A and B are shown apart, each in its own frame.
Chain A
C-alpha cells in the first residue's frame, strides 16, 4: 500500500506537468497571445490595451515564412480544457496518494512533513477546482497553480519523504486531528490565495503601463478588480480557519501534551507571524488610504511566512514540533 502511494505520487506529479503543458500551450497559442496574434491574419484589438492606453506589449511581428504554421487560435481553448481535465485527474490521483498513504499507516495522512505537504497541496488544488468551476475566466491562472503543485509535490517527494510510520504518542489526540486538519485546510487556501494576489500585482502593474517581464503576463489574466476580490475572499475564508486551527485548537492540544498552551516554539512563532501578517492584510484591505497593491503585497508577505512555516521551520530550527520527520 505504501509503495502504491509512492507510485501514485509520481503519476499525480506527471499529470500536473501535463496540466502545465496544456495551460502553457493555451497561453502561447491562444487568440490573445503574442504568438497567436502575430500569426493571425487579422489582429484583434486588445481590450485591456485600449483601456490602459499604454504602449503595445510587443512590436507587431509579421508572420514570416520561416515560422511553422501555428495551430488555429480556437484550438488553443482545447489545450486549456485539456489542462483542466489533466488537473482534475491529477487531483484525483493526488487524493489516491493520500488515501493509500493513510491506509498504509492506519491513520490520517498528516503525521509528518511529507504527508502534511501532500494534504495541504491537495486542499489547495481542490479549492482551485471549486473556484474554477464557478469562474471559468480565471482558467489562465492554471499555469501557475499547476507549476506550484509540481514544485511543492516535487519537494515533498524528494526532500521531505519519509517511510510510513504510525504516530508518536504525543500526536495521538483528538485535538491534534482537529488542529492539523484546520491547519491543512487554511494553509492550502492561503497558498492558493497567493496566485490571484500575484496576478493582481502583475495585472495592476500592466494596467499602469509596465511591460517588462512579469508584467507582460498581465495581458492574459482577468481584470485587476476581479483578482483583488478573489484574493480577498480566499484570505478572508482561510483566516478564521487558521485562527481556529493554529491559534486555538493547536494550543488546546499543546496544553494537554506539553503542559502549556503557548510556548513560543519556532513553529508557534511562525504561526503567530503568519497570523499577524494576514491580519495586517485584512486591515490594509479595509483601509481606504492604503493602496490595494500595498495591501496585496502584505498578502504576498503572508504567503512567504506560510512557506517558512511549512518548510523553513522544519529545516532550519529544532523545536517541539520537529517530529516533522526531517
Chain B
C-alpha cells in the first residue's frame, strides 16, 4: 500500500539549462500521484454537465428543445462544447493529460518491477526479533530444508549460507501494472472504434417495396468514423418481412420480434437484445410503430397511395404523422401543376380507438380497433422552398402564412372507410403496415475494448487482493543449534500473523518428519 512518490532529486545537471529543467520538472509534476488524483477528480467533475445538459450524441432532438427554451444561453453553451461534452476539447484535454500521466507513471514502475522480479530476495536482517513477526523454531531444520518448504509454497527463495530469505506477492504489482496498461488499451480500442466505425439509423416499413440498401443516402441519420469513407460501407440490402409485438393486458410490451431478409436470402429474425449480426455490421432493433396506408383520389380521378410512418407519442402507440400528396391535382392533359392545389393530411393514428369521442388517445398498443383521425390541408406544402423539413409534420410556416389551409374539421376513418372532401376529391384509409426503427452499426473497437477490460479487471483483482511479504530464517550453529524466523508484511495485510505461524509450523513439521521427501500439508 505504500508508494514512493517522488524519487530523490537526481544529481544537478552538468550544464544548467532552464528550458530543460522546466520541462523535466513539469514532467515529474505531471507524473506524480498527486497530479493523477487531481486529474481523476477533474475528469469526474467534467463529466457532470454531460448528464445535466442534453447531449447531441445521445439525443439531438433534446438539444434542439433546449435551444427553443433557452435561446440566449444555448449558443454560449454550444461554444463551450457543453452539448458535446465527451467530444469537447476540455474533456479530451483532461483525459489525454491523465493518460500521459499514466504512461509516465507506468514506464518507470514497469522497469522497477522487472528489476525487482529478477533480483533475489534481500539478505536476512541482523535482528530478526525486531520484525513484526518473530519466532524461534523448535527443532533444527537446516537452511536447505527450510528453503524446500518455502519453494513448495511458491515463495521466491534465496539461500545464503545459513540464512534463507523469501518473498512473495509480486503479483500485486504485476496486477496493478496490468490494470493500468489495460486502461491504455481500452482507450486505444475506443479510438479504433471512433476512427473506423460507422452507423446509420433508419425507419424501415415492412414489405418488399420498402427494402433499403446499405448506402449513406438511404439512412435517416448516419455517422462515419474519421477514417471511413462512404464507399467503405459493405453492400447489402435489407427487407423487413414481418414484425411481431406482444403486449400485456396493461399495454406494457412483452416482446418484439422482427424478421428480415438480407440480400433476398432466407428470412432471419432478430429482437431487442439479440441483434442481426451480419458480416461487417450489426442490425439493432430500436423501436417500432405503424405506418397507415392512405389513398387519395384527386379532382382528375387519379389515385395515389402513400404509406406514411407515424411516430408514436405515448406507450399506447397513439401516433402522429403526415401523409403528403405534393403531386396531387396535376392536370393530366397539360401536366401543369398547381402549387395551390397540393394536398396533405395531418393525422392521429389510434391502434385501439375508443368507441366514442374524443378520439385523442389510443387505449392499447396493439391494433384492436384501429382508427385514423385525419385533418385535410390544401395549398402549397412548401416542399420546393429548399428548406428541409420533417416528413412527420406539416410545414407550419405555410400554415401560418395562409398558403396552406385546413379544409373542414377532422374526420375519423376506420379501415376501408372513405372521406369525400368539399372539392369532390376523396381519401381512403386502406390499413396499416408495421415499421421498425433500426440502427445499423459497425464498431471494430468493441472486441479490443472488451478484451482489455477483462484483462484490466483481472489485474485489478490481483492488485487489490495481492499482498507483498517477506520471511527470513537464520540457522545459528553454536554450542546448540538455534533456528529463528522473522516476517515482514510489506502491504496492509491483517492475516499475516496466521500465515507466518502456519509457515513456521510447516517448517517444524517437515523437520520432525526427517529429511525424506514427505509431503508437507
The interface of chain A, by Cβ under 8 A from chain B, is 165-166, 168-170, 172-173, 176, 229, 232, 236, 239-240, 243-244, 247-248, 252-253, 255-261, 263-266, 269-270, 272-273, 276-277, 279-280, 282-290, 305, 313, 317, 319
Contacts and interface: CB of A to CB of B under 8 A. Distances in A.
Given A236-B464, A276-B47, 19 more contacts: A169-B256, A169-B271, A172-B272, A172-B273, A239-B464, A240-B460, A248-B454, A256-B273, A257-B272, A259-B199, A261-B443, A263-B57, A264-B86, A273-B47, A283-B33, A283-B37, A283-B40, A285-B1, A290-B34
A243 B460 contact: yes
A166 B246 CA distance: 13
B40 A259 contact: no
Interface of B: 1-3, 5, 33-34, 36-37, 40-41, 43-44, 47-48, 50-52, 55, 57-58, 85-86, 199, 248, 250, 252-256, 271-275, 282, 284, 286, 439, 441, 443, 446, 449-450, 453-454, 456-457, 460-461, 464, 492, 494
Among B36, B250, B273, B441, chain A packs the most CB atoms within 10 A around the CB of: B273
Contact of A263 (B33, B58, B449): B58
B5 A287 contact: yes
Task: Return the 3 tightest CB-CB contacts between A and B, nearest first.
Answer: A259-B284, A269-B51, A266-B51
B27 to A, nearest CB: 19
Contacts of A273: 44, 47-48
Given A240-B461, A286-B3, A319-B58, A280 B44 contact: yes
B36 A283 contact: yes
Contacts of A284: 37
A256 B286 CA distance: 11
A258 B286 contact: yes
Interface of chain A, helix or strand or loop or mixed? Answer: helix
Interface of chain B, helix or strand or loop or mixed? Answer: mixed
Contact of B37 (A261, A263, A290): A290
B51 A260 contact: no
Given A287-B5, A289-B34, A317-B51, A259 B457 contact: no
Contacts of B37: 280, 283-284, 287, 290
B106 to A, nearest CB: 14
Contacts of A276: 40-41, 43-44, 47
A244 B454 CA distance: 8
A89 B255 CA distance: 39
Contacts of A280: 37, 40-41, 44
Contacts of B1: 285-286
Given A166-B248, A169-B254, A288 B2 contact: yes
Contacts of B274: 256
A248 B457 contact: yes
A284 B40 CA distance: 11
B273 A259 contact: no
Contacts of A272: 47
Contacts of B43: 276
A20 B29 CA distance: 49
B76 to A, nearest CB: 21
B460 A264 contact: no
Given A239-B460, A288-B2, A313 B273 contact: no
